[in-house]
Amino acid sequence: MSSVEPRASIRLVISGRVQGVAFRYFTRGEAQRLGLVGWVKNLPQGAVEVRVTGPPEALEQFRQRLRQGPPGARVDAMSESELAAAEAWPDFRITY
């Protein structure tokens, strides 16, 4: 039996009132709390993009928290796509 936990990588695009409400900082905090790695950034059209890697159970918790968002945010839609291979980012960062 392997002690290595399975990992998956996903890309999320979240739209709604997600810019100007500390959504990226909320996202980073949740990712760090769950032990996930990756990055989050604002997109020019007003959405937020997230690329994240971690255990499937932690990713599900992460999705649920992002659907709620921080106070002042409103998530209207969240699209998801699976990335071909688990990325090996060193931590979780806000990128620009």
Catalytic residue among 7, 11, 42, 63: 42
DSSP character string of 38-79: EEEEE-TTS-EEEEEEE-HHHHHHHHHHHHH-STT-EEEEEE
User: The tokens of 3 are what?
Assistant: 């002690």
42 catalytic residue (yes or no): yes
Residues assigned a catalytic role: 24, 42
